[in-house]
């Protein structure tokens, strides 16, 4: 259970950000000394194929991943056990690890939300949990990620102001990996004209949004299915929850166009 003091203590455990909402710095840590716990352990199992060999398929192996917490000296949590093919490409391995991570993360939060734990804590599906977990996973794949810069972390004073205005973080529930954002004066957009454009249309049962800029464009040989940038991965994860798609293409005259297609039923 988080408290307002977690924002101002040293080291801080909570912070608000303009792009990622509330962040739990503990959840963002991919390392754990406990076996089969932590995003780093999961990725090592999947990428190095260290688990028990499958009897049905010599190339397959076992992956065990868990998330736990301790209450009154008793440790409890959620554990997932999976059989993974050993014949996966690097992008496929990342996708499998991400799917496992997301399923166990939701299972753990659901367990914390049951009738028993609700009497002890408001932590289940707290606003910051799943988003912070997801960022922790990508910190394993890209250790050099500058999360404060990418997410736009605000000052402790601004974070406290949001807590006091909108209520305790545990009172806001988020069962998705989409950031839950609150109005924040520190996040107000700068009064400048962006070098880009956005347009949308409703056509054939879907809403299509086209976003374009006049920048230097995509790198030569860029493949969206093999891209591992945090921002792009988060966008694709959120769109997948809406059964939506993302396409990137060169813009005529220079720059890049992003085409997002959202089925109307997903709105």
Q: Which helix (H) or strand (E) holds 156?
A: helix 156-166
pLDDT of residue 226: 75
* 172-202 per-position pLDDT tens digit: 999 999 999 999 989 976 544 445 666 666 6
How many residues does the structure list for the chain?
267
Extents of the domains making up the chain = 5-171, 196-266
Q: Given a cut of 90, is residue 163 above it in pLDDT?
A: yes
pLDDT of residue 198: 60
CB-based contacts of 263, cutoff 8 Å, min separation 6: 205, 206, 242, 243, 244
Whole-angstrom Cα distance, residue 267 to residue 115? Answer: 31
Whole-angstrom Cα distance, residue 14 to residue 160? Answer: 10
Mean pLDDT value of segment 12-32: 92
Q: Given a cut of 80, is residue 259 above it in pLDDT?
A: yes
pLDDT-derived band at 137 (thresholds 50, 70, 90) equals: very high
Instruction: Give this prediction's pTM.
Output: 0.72
Whole-angstrom Cα distance, residue 260 to residue 200? Answer: 9
Average pLDDT, the chain: 86
Mean pLDDT value of segment 14-38: 92
pLDDT-derived band at 133 (thresholds 50, 70, 90) equals: very high
pLDDT of residue 192: 45
Taking Cα atoms as reference points, which of 22, 3, 12 lies closest to residue 153? 22
Yes or no: say if 39 and 139 are a contact pair by the CB < 8 Å rule.
Answer: yes
- CA 208 centroid distance within chain: 24
Least confident segment among 2-16, 71-85, 95-109, 202-216: 202-216
pLDDT of residue 193: 43
What is 196-266's CATH number? 3.30.565.10
CB-based contacts of 100, cutoff 8 Å, min separation 6: 42, 46, 63, 65, 80, 82
User: What DSSP designation does 89 have?
Assistant: -
């Amino acid at each position: 259970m988080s408290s307002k003091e977690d924002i101002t203590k040293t080291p801080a455990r909570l912070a608000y950000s303009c792009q990622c909402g509330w962040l739990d710095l503990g959840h963002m840590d991919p390392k754990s000394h406990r076996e089969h716990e932590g995003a780093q352990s999961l990725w090592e199992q999947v990428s190095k194929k260290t688990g028990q060999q499958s009897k049905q398929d010599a190339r397959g192996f076992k992956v065990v991943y868990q998330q736990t917490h301790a209450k009154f000296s008793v440790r409890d949590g959620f554990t997932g056990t999976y059989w993974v093919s050993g014949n996966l490409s690097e992008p496929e391995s990342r996708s499998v690890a991400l799917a496992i991570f997301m399923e166990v993360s939701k299972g753990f939060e659901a367990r914390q939300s049951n009738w028993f734990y609700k009497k002890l804590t408001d932590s289940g599906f707290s606003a910051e949990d799943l988003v912070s977990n997801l960022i922790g996973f990508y910190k394993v794949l890209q250790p050099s990620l500058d999360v404060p810069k990418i997410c736009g972390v605000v000052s402790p004073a601004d974070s406290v102001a949001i807590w006091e205005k909108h209520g305790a973080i545990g009172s806001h529930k988020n069962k998705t990996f989409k950031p839950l954002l609150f109005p924040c004066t520190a996040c107000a957009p700068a009064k400048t004209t962006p070098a880009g454009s956005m347009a949308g249309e409703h056509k054939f049962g879907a809403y299509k949004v086209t976003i374009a800029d006049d920048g230097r464009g995509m790198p030569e040989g860029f493949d969206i299915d093999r891209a591992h940038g945090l921002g792009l991965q988060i966008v694709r994860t959120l769109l997948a929850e809406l059964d939506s798609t993302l396409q990137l293409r060169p813009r005529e005259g220079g720059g890049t166009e992003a085409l997002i297609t959202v089925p109307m039923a997903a709105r």
